[in-house]
Amino acid sequence: MDLGMDTNEAIWKSTQIVHNRELKADERVRKNAAQWRLMGELLPFEAQDAFTFLDLGAGTGSAARAILDLYPRSTAVLTDFSAPMMAVGEAEMAPFAGRFRYLEFDMSTGDWPGAIPAAFDAVVTSMCIHHMPDHRKAGLFTEIFDHLAPGGWYLNYDSVSSADPLVTATWNRVIDLDPEAARKRLHGTAEERARRENHRQYLIPLPQQLDYLRAAGFQGIDVYWKHLDDVIYGGRRPA
């Protein structure tokens, strides 16, 4: 399966690949629902607080839905660069009609659309930052910082790598205890292999990403949850 060099665009703007991904939506929810909810619970709001948050690289809106469900007076702006993903997201977000809007934004550029508000009470990202090369990770953290209101929080649920090959081997050994995960990693279809390589191409260790947050100006940086190569971390803009 030759996707060329720009695998982010080739994969995530493919109607067929997005369709195939949605066929396994239940599997994805089982794996990630608790982490999406935890991100919402970590935000420093009471249940009835009214606030607006940005879900950057939102895909079909899974993280945003978890937060909107926890906080019935919250509203969301969701961005993505994939029309097929946003189309699926619009349908899946229907229960929250009137409380969200999608905007097209390609995170690989620093060119934020003017329609994105200047400041949010919180920003979240879920399984998207790792698709960016290092300079864009660092750049995005600065841009996210600049789009937070004073005291606003940023949380990221994402995958990381390890600088230690023995740690990586240990992660893979444990992950492969799930026969389906082992099959995908070792004997997947051409599409599954392409998506795996796309997933891995820009992974970097967690400490490097925390350094990027510090350089962007974030305070209160912490790792709130970690399981093997998946992690939730974040920080806040000083009040």
Q: Pick the more confident residue, 62 or 199.
A: 62
Q: What is the phi/psi pair of residue 229, to 5°? A: -100, 10
Average pLDDT in the 128-148 region?
Answer: 96
pTM for the full predicted model: 0.87
Question: Which of 13-22, 74-83, 195-204 bottoms out in mean pLDDT, i.e. has the lowest?
Answer: 13-22
What are the structural domains of the chain? 7-161+204-234 (3.40.50.150)
For residue 23, name the pLDDT band (cuts at 50, 70, 90): low
Percent of the chain with pLDDT over 90: 74
E runs forming strands in the chain:
52-56, 75-80, 100-104, 120-126, 148-159, 219-227, 230-236
* C-alpha of 181 from chain center: 20
For residue 4, name the pLDDT band (cuts at 50, 70, 90): very low
Sheet holding 75-80, edge to edge: 100-104, 75-80, 52-56, 120-126, 148-159, 230-236, 219-227
Q: What is the phi/psi pair of residue 116, to 5°? A: -75, 125
Percent of the chain with pLDDT over 70: 86
Sort 131 into a burial class: Cβ within 10 Å, 0-12 / 13-18 / 19+. Answer: buried
Q: What is the pLDDT of residues 213-223, one digit of tens each?
A: 999 999 999 99
Which residue bears the tokens 């349908």? 91
Q: Specify the pLDDT at position 31.
A: 86
Q: Specify the pLDDT at position 14.
A: 66
Could you give the CA distance from residue 89 to residue 86 in angstroms, rounded to a whole number? Answer: 5
For residue 195, name the pLDDT band (cuts at 50, 70, 90): low
Q: Specify the pLDDT at position 2.
A: 38
Counting every residue, how long is the chain? 239
Question: 53: which residues sit within 8 A by CB, 6+ positions away?
Answer: 43, 64, 67, 74, 75, 76, 77, 120, 121, 122, 123, 124
Q: What is the pLDDT of residues 95-122, one digit of tens each?
A: 999 999 999 999 999 999 999 999 999 9
Q: What is the pLDDT of residues 168-178, one digit of tens each?
A: 999 999 988 98
